[in-house]
């Protein structure tokens, strides 16, 4: 059995990646390394925790000694590195935690793998998961391609850009086996309710104001999280050594149009009169340095590896809204921090 290390597998995207890999590849032993920060939640992957090809390890990607031991124990074939601080607003109020996890954590992980794999780099793969935000912001036209110059504008995107540069530098300097992907905004079940979609869905449900930054004219390119997980599977197995692949939904929405769409869906779901939820929309102070528009050109991934997103936006929103409405307990646990109790019960008392 090949040992594969997934970092950040208790987070939003990581949990979907793990579920897909554990179910699809019984010949892999998937090791999920996660520190369980506020964003990590083992309930996200409760359905696969008893599978024989899955192991959870609590730990910090910044801890060199811990990683050395982990690599000794598991002899990893490959790594899919998702662990990160991921929320732009938090990076504005607390940039240092982003520098620590996203930059120091990534280089500490690179070094652990480089040491463990020094005899045979070409038999391994280090896959770094990144974001379209490293490219900066677009005007009303154009798309980010793999050749777009980096121009990050928030502490979050600057820390992710820095980690991308380090990963690429290890390829050029040491011949270390890497692949990188940069994806647009994900949405779907299990996303922490600090991010736009789950926050709006929850606030509509609770009749709370719907905070829209600035004039709501900023544009994001939305992709259903399972389509991202499938792209990651494909790139991990078929991506070319040293290459970068952009992943996007070709699905651009201004924030205000999207919030209005969610209001319409929720009015129907909650049996409210048409227009009720939209009355909750509240324009608030803009995010500092708010990037205007992200839009991804994913033609390289589509042409070279045959990827295509499978879930339409209407279908994805329907699944997402239903999931949040049906998983009230998940939401309450996340909001109250009670998922820590779940971890204690499931693992520490065994
Ligand atoms: P998330 O915040 O939901 O999850 C991050 C996970 O990393 C959590 O489980 C957390 O506990 C873990 N973690 C944090 N610090 C750690 C540390 N020091 N050691 C070990 N684990 C640690 O994030 P997400 O939205 O799932 O994003 C996952 C990755 O994908 C990130 O690298 C992010 O930059 C990238 N990405 C996200 C999006 C998006 O729309 N969410 C889009 C493109 C790329
Ligand atoms: O583009 C990929 C990135 O998408 C990922 O790398 C990040 O990890 C992920 O968090 C996401 O970043 P954004 O900043 O685009 O996502 P967020 O959900 O925070 O915000 C989406 C848009 O909605 C953005 O223009 C800001 C706006 N917004 C957000 C919140 C939380 C609001 O108007 N009101 C809000 O309350």
Nearest to 197, CA basis, from 102, 331, 36: 331
Residue 304 lies in a domain: yes
Report yes or no: 292 and 139 within 8 Å, Cβ to Cβ: yes
Q: Which atom of ligand 2 is nearest to the CA of 86?
A: 8
Active-site annotation, residues: 132-133, 156
Ligand 2 centroid distance, CA of 196 (Å): 6
Residue 130 lies in a domain: yes
Neighbours of 143 (CB within 10 A): 20
Residue 206 lies in a domain: no
**pLDDT exceeds cutoff 70 at 11:** yes
Which residues fall within 8 angstroms of residue 114, CB to CB, at 6 or more apart?
A: 170, 174, 176
Average pLDDT over residues 296-314: 98
**pLDDT exceeds cutoff 60 at 350:** no
Residue showing tokens 């600057």: 158
User: DSSP character for 123?
Assistant: G
Residue 320 lies in a domain: no
Ligand 1 centroid distance, CA of 7 (Å): 9
Tokens at residue 179, please? 């692949």
Ligand 2 centroid distance, CA of 112 (Å): 32
3-state secondary structure of 85: coil
218 lines ligand 2 (CB under 6 A): yes
How many domains are there within the chain? 1
**pLDDT exceeds cutoff 90 at 309:** yes
pLDDT tier for residue 341 given thresholds of 50, 70 and 90: confident
Residue 58 lies in a domain: yes
Ligand 1 centroid distance, CA of 84 (Å): 4
Residue 67 lies in a domain: yes
Ligand 1 centroid distance, CA of 200 (Å): 20
Report yes or no: 301 and 231 within 8 Å, Cβ to Cβ: yes
Average pLDDT over residues 81-94: 96
Nearest CA to ligand 1 atom 17: 60
Nearest CA to ligand 1 atom 13: 83
Give the ligand with the smallest distance to the CA of 181: 1
**For a substitution probing ligand 1, which of 6, 9, 60, 82 has the most ligand atoms within 8 Å of its CB?**
82
Residue 195 lies in a domain: no
3-state secondary structure of 253: strand
pLDDT tier for residue 221 given thresholds of 50, 70 and 90: very high
Ligand 2 centroid distance, CA of 98 (Å): 16
pLDDT tier for residue 228 given thresholds of 50, 70 and 90: very high
The domain spanning residue 145 has which CATH number? 3.40.50.720
Q: Which atom of ligand 1 is nearest to the CA of 13?
A: 26
228 lines ligand 2 (CB under 6 A): no
pLDDT of residue 343: 66
**pLDDT exceeds cutoff 90 at 339:** no
**pLDDT exceeds cutoff 90 at 340:** no
Residue 98 lies in a domain: yes
Nearest to 126, CA basis, from 62, 169, 86: 169
Nearest CA to ligand 2 atom 11: 185
184 lines ligand 2 (CB under 6 A): yes
3-state secondary structure of 154: coil
Q: Which atom of ligand 1 is nearest to the CA of 160?
A: 34
Give me the chain's average pLDDT, please: 96
pLDDT tier for residue 39 given thresholds of 50, 70 and 90: very high
For residue range 246-261, list pLDDT tens digits in order.
Answer: 999 999 999 999 999 9
Give the ligand with the smallest distance to the CA of 108: 1
d(CA 297, CA 246): 7
Nearest CA to ligand 1 atom 4: 11
Which residues have C-beta atoms less than 6 Å from ligand 1?
7-8, 10-14, 33-37, 39-40, 60-62, 82-84, 86, 101, 105, 129, 131, 160, 183, 185-186, 192
Report yes or no: 344 and 224 within 8 Å, Cβ to Cβ: no
**Which contiguous run of DSSP H or E holds residue 178?**
strand 178-183
Tokens at residue 147, please? 């050749």
d(CA 345, CA 6): 23
Q: Residue 101 sits in which domain range?
A: 2-190+223-250+290-311
d(CA 3, CA 8): 16
Q: For 207, phi and psi rounded to 5 degrees?
A: 60, 35
């Amino acid at each position: 059995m090949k040992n594969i290390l997934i970092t950040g597998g208790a987070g939003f995207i990581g949990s979907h990646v793990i579920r897909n890999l554990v179910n699809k590849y019984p010949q892999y032993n998937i090791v999920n390394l996660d520190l369980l920060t506020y964003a990590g939640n083992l309930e996200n992957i409760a359905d696969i925790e008893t599978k024989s090809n899955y192991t959870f390890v609590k730990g910090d990607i910044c801890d060199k000694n811990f990683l050395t031991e982990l690599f000794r124990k598991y002899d990893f074939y490959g790594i899919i590195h998702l662990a990160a601080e991921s929320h732009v607003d938090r990076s504005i109020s607390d940039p240092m935690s982003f520098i620590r996890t996203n930059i120091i954590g990534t280089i500490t992980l690179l070094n652990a793998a480089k040491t463990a794999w020094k005899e045979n780099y070409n038999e391994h793969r280090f896959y770094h998961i990144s974001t379209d935000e490293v490219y900066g912001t677009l005007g009303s036209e154009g798309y980010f391609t793999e050749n777009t110059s980096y121009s990050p504008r928030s502490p979050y995107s600057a820390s992710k850009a820095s980690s991308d540069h380090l990963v690429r530098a290890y390829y050029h300097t040491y011949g270390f086996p890497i692949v990188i992907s940069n994806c647009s905004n994900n949405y779907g079940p299990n996303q922490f309710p600090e991010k736009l979609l789950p926050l709006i869905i929850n606030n509509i449900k609770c009749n709370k104001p719907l905070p829209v930054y600035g004039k709501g004219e900023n544009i994001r390119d939305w992709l259903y999280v399972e389509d991202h997980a499938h792209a990651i599977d494909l790139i991990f197995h078929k991506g070319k050594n040293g290459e970068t692949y952009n992943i996007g939904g070709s699905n651009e929405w201004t924030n205000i149009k999207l919030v209005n769409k969610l209001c319409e869906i929720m009015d129907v779901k909650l049996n409210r009169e048409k227009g009720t939820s939209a009355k909750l929309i509240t324009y608030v102070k803009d995010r500092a340095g708010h990037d205007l528009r992200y839009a991804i050109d994913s033609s390289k991934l589509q042409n070279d590896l045959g990827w295509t997103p499978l879930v339409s936006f209407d279908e994805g929103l329907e699944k997402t809204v239903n999931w949040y409405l049906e998983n009230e307990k998940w939401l309450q646990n996340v909001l109250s921090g009670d998922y820590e109790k779940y971890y204690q019960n499931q693992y520490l008392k065994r």
